[in-house]
Structure 1
Amino acid sequence: MSDSTTKGFGWLDIIRLGLVQASIGAIVMLGTSLLNRLMVVEYGLAAAIPAGLVAWHYAVQLSRPVWGQGSDRGRRRTPWIHFGMAVLGLGALVAVDATVLIDSNRTLAIVMGVLGFTMIGAGVGAAGTSLLALLASGVAPARRAAAAAVTWIMMVAGIIVAAGTAGALLDPFSPRRLALVASGVVGVALLVTILALLRVERRALAPVADKDKGSVLDIREALREILGEPSARRFTLFIFVSMLAYSMQDLILEPFAGLVFAMTPGESTQLSGMQHGGVLAGMVVAGIGGSAFAGRMPGELRSWIAFGCLGSALSLVGLALGARTGLGWPLVPNVFLLGFFNGVFAVAAIGAMMGLAGEGERTREGVRMGVWGAAQAIAFGLGGLVGALGVDFTRRAVAQDAAAFELIFCLEGGLFIAAAWLSFKVSNSRQASGVEIAQS
């Protein structure tokens, strides 16, 4: 069941909601990127501590179905996004305070760090799930791929702008300067969110009727219904497998470039930038292509998902061959193609998620988005860890750097192939359900 619409979101509305996604990305960058580096380099913590805090913030996002159900029960989703952003921003500032305390009281700093990253995870869960549910209920099917592309491109842009600005303002580093810069990022992100959401939901969508509000299922009933639907259950598995594959190379690509191709830190950072450039290009192509054909070719997003997954698998096979070949391999084009196909798959998957979110018999968009967001968070938390630990273990076992990376890249490619197969299983489940409904 989905909210009744009076008009639906136009392109300007979608861009405004993309600004909210950019604001989420900007604040999350503080905890998962900036503070991670500061804790290890400037404050001398073991790398496992900030890595554990980042993993913990993903674990907290298992609460996404609860936040989604809460926004389903409300008449509007905007207050839930405001609440989540406030918790996210406050959590980032608590994490900053924890970082500054490391030198004077390490135990208290770690306790505050856990609290801060708990709030970051909860804030992302509440704001992100409610935002996706709002998009799912208000974006026309023909625009879903493009809407996913716009919002995710803007999220990446938000991360880039916030990281660049914060990096420029932090030098020369001092705890006071860190607090001021972090407060500025959080303040601007919250202000942008408030302005971007102003009257968007109220003008474009009709409020949920009181009877509809009362029909929202208990969380246990909702989860039972979602996981009892073949298409929703398989889509949950698809999200987990595909995002696990997507995130496995996050922590090993730059070490791979350094150990196997003898790249300097600057060169490997540029390689990572090339990958992100490919991701943006893939998102644009899938957004335009998926929307152009969505109205004329049923199942088109499924084709884009499979194209992205299989292309990612082939690119990873290329990296595995590159590990065996060494310096003669065209690494930069290979990595760009990996990013491109990752971007294609990601946008198509999010567009498909929006479509499936409104197909529940009794559950609404919020809790369904929450279930898939939780699967994504688990996969992201495990992916980087599995990739890094897999390389470390294999390097010790075979005493060859290239062979270790080759094995992990092949494993990751196999997961993408499995994800492509699962995407077709989801589509077949939906078609079968449609036949049953038509015959009943």
Structure 2
Amino acid sequence: MIANQGSTHGIGWFSIIRLGTVQAAIGAIVMLATSLLNRVMVVEYAIAASVPAGLVAWHYGVQLTRPIWGHNSDRSAHRSTWVIGGMGVLALGTLLSVDATIMMASKGVFPVFLAIAGFSMIGLGVGMSGTALLALLASRVSVERKPAAAAISWTMMVAGIVVAAGVSGSYLDPFTETRLAIVTSIVVLVAFCAAVLALHGLERGSQPVDSGMPKPNIPLREVIQNIWDDGPARRFTYFVFISMLAYSMQDLILEPFAGFVFDMSPGESTKLAGVQHSGILLGMLISGAGGSLLARKYGQNPRFWIILGCFSSAIMLVGLSFAATVGPAWPLKTNVFALGVANGVFAVAAVGAMLQLASDGRASGEGARMGVWGAAQAIAFGAGGLLGAVIVDQLRARIGQDSIAFQTVFAVEAAMFVVAALIATATQMTRPTPARKAVIL
């Protein structure tokens, strides 16, 4: 293996796969709260969609603490400690949220407060573990391997979501509260144990990659100001916000859409989420493999794949807006699968750009930068999910037609993806690097 002179190899492929396993565990647990519990509250318990949307929005609001966790992990000797601690908080918060959801079958205020506490823990856990994990990837993976590392880690994350959605969907029908409690508990336990095993001893066998820029020990406020003064980092933050806002508006309404318009059962709509994430998995593989081939010939620039994925996502959302009018005759699964493919293409390219830009700060470490971008994503997801659900609730109440309510949200999302693509065209997503000798991986 030949590498650039003066650079550090970073972790190997097997270690990257281990970190991808942690991503898969996080995705599997979060899917239970943002997808399954959302469906149960809205359809089975006839709770207004804005209630679970508000809980999910709150858990994203809590993730505004991401820069704090990232900055602290920059100062820590071992980032894996923050990842495991966050996973523990995430697991406990999810189990608490499941209990709160089951209690919502009987009216009362206490289940709502319990759910707020559970989703607060979910937000803290995801923010802590996710930010530290991304910083670990950015700091321990060599520049040449970062695009592939992004594809591997996010592909495994989606694979974890697909497996969790498929397993839980298969065992939830016929739906009972006991089944819900047992299935979710098993998924949480398996995911947490897999993450802990994957991280065991990983940092002891590797050293951070030399980014060539010292990271002084300065206060968080100055670190964030340093990031915001960096033009490419600031524009990339705009892109993350707009693209994630577009993506998240359908995240909380897709399963209720399948239930109301296509008359799907809880198990069927949960499997539909698995179909979407299967498409995301394929899209990530396409983007990762295609990006690697183009990188060898033209250099590492993920912008093409980002723009392609955003425009394709807009087209597929236009298709869903037609599906809202056509109803069961529309090939919903095919449309949702294609939307997943488009989402996967732009997502893995964006993560690749994120990993490459994370080590560019003169005073900010990888954790702080990942924290800022993670906070932008959290704001977008919280606002987007809540906005989509509120629009659906209001239009359904005023117009009395489910199809028009869902159609409106899908059309707005499509327009936002177009805006995100336009922002991406004006954003430098790779850092300039000095001439290097050829690298053979």
Q: Same fold, TM exceeding 0.5?
A: yes
CA displacement at 1:269 relative to structure 2: 6.5
Conserved? CA contact 1:72–1:216, under 8 Å: no
Which residue of the partner structure matches residue 30 of structure 1?
Answer: 32
Identify if the C-alpha distance between structure 1 residues 359 and 156 changes in structure 2 by more than 3 Å, giving closer, same or farther. Answer: same
Conserved? CA contact 2:10–2:207, under 8 Å: yes
Q: State how far apart, in whole Å, the 2-side matches of 1:332 and 1:164 are.
A: 15
Which residue of the partner structure matches residue 292 of structure 1?
Answer: 293
Conserved? CA contact 1:299–1:427, under 8 Å: no
Which residue of the partner structure matches residue 423 of structure 1?
Answer: 424
Which residue of the partner structure matches residue 85 of structure 2?
Answer: 83
Q: Where do residues 300-339 of structure 1 align in structure 2 (5 Å cutoff)?
A: 300-320=301-321, 333-339=334-340
Identify if the C-alpha distance between structure 1 residues 403 and 376 changes in structure 2 by more than 3 Å, giving closer, same or farther. Answer: same
> Unaligned regions of 5+ residues in structure 1, if any?
435-440
Identify if the C-alpha distance between structure 1 residues 321 and 113 changes in structure 2 by more than 3 Å, giving closer, same or farther. Answer: closer
Which residue of the partner structure matches residue 362 of structure 2?
Answer: 361
The more displaced of 332-341 and 239-248 is 332-341
Which residue of the partner structure matches residue 116 of structure 1?
Answer: 118
Q: State how far apart, in whole Å, the 1-side matches of 2:401 and 2:108 are.
A: 38
Q: State how far apart, in whole Å, the 2-side matches of 1:171 and 1:326 are.
A: 24
Query: Which of 30, 49, 58 in structure 1 is aligned with 2:51?
Result: 49
Conserved? CA contact 2:165–2:270, under 8 Å: no
Identify if the C-alpha distance between structure 1 residues 320 and 23 changes in structure 2 by more than 3 Å, giving closer, same or farther. Answer: closer
Identify if the C-alpha distance between structure 1 residues 5 and 105 changes in structure 2 by more than 3 Å, giving closer, same or farther. Answer: farther
Higher helix fraction (1 or 2):
1
Conserved? CA contact 2:359–2:366, under 8 Å: yes
Which residue of the partner structure matches residue 262 of structure 2?
Answer: 263
The secondary structure found in structure 2 opposite 1:82 is: helix
Which residue of the partner structure matches residue 205 of structure 1?
Answer: 207
TM-score normalized by structure 2? Answer: 0.83
Which residue of the partner structure matches residue 242 of structure 2?
Answer: 241
Q: State how far apart, in whole Å, the 2-side matches of 1:325 and 1:175 are.
A: 33
Q: What letter is aligned with 1:162?
A: A
Query: Which of 130, 135, 143 in structure 1 is aligned with 2:132?
Result: 130
CA displacement at 1:71 relative to structure 2: 0.3
Identify if the C-alpha distance between structure 1 residues 270 and 249 changes in structure 2 by more than 3 Å, giving closer, same or farther. Answer: same
The secondary structure found in structure 2 opposite 1:265 is: coil
The secondary structure found in structure 2 opposite 1:245 is: helix
The secondary structure found in structure 2 opposite 1:427 is: coil
Does structure 1 residue 14 correspond to structure 2 residue 13?
no
Q: State how far apart, in whole Å, the 2-side matches of 1:160 and 1:47 are.
A: 24
Conserved? CA contact 2:35–2:252, under 8 Å: no
Q: What letter is aligned with 2:82?
A: W
CA displacement at 1:337 relative to structure 2: 2.8
CA displacement at 1:405 relative to structure 2: 4.8
Q: State how far apart, in whole Å, the 1-side matches of 2:96 and 2:327 are.
A: 45
The secondary structure found in structure 2 opposite 1:199 is: coil
The more displaced of 379-388 and 177-186 is 177-186
CA displacement at 1:265 relative to structure 2: 1.5
Does structure 1 residue 221 correspond to structure 2 residue 226?
no
Conserved? CA contact 1:5–1:204, under 8 Å: no
CA displacement at 1:116 relative to structure 2: 1.6
CA displacement at 1:280 relative to structure 2: 1.7
The more displaced of 179-188 and 346-355 is 179-188
TM-score normalized by structure 1? Answer: 0.83
Conserved? CA contact 2:20–2:154, under 8 Å: yes
Conserved? CA contact 1:14–1:151, under 8 Å: yes
> C-alpha deviations, 1:57-96, integer Å up to 9, x for none?
1111111111101101112211111111111122223334
Identify if the C-alpha distance between structure 1 residues 31 and 332 changes in structure 2 by more than 3 Å, giving closer, same or farther. Answer: closer
> Unaligned regions of 5+ residues in structure 2, if any?
1-5, 435-441
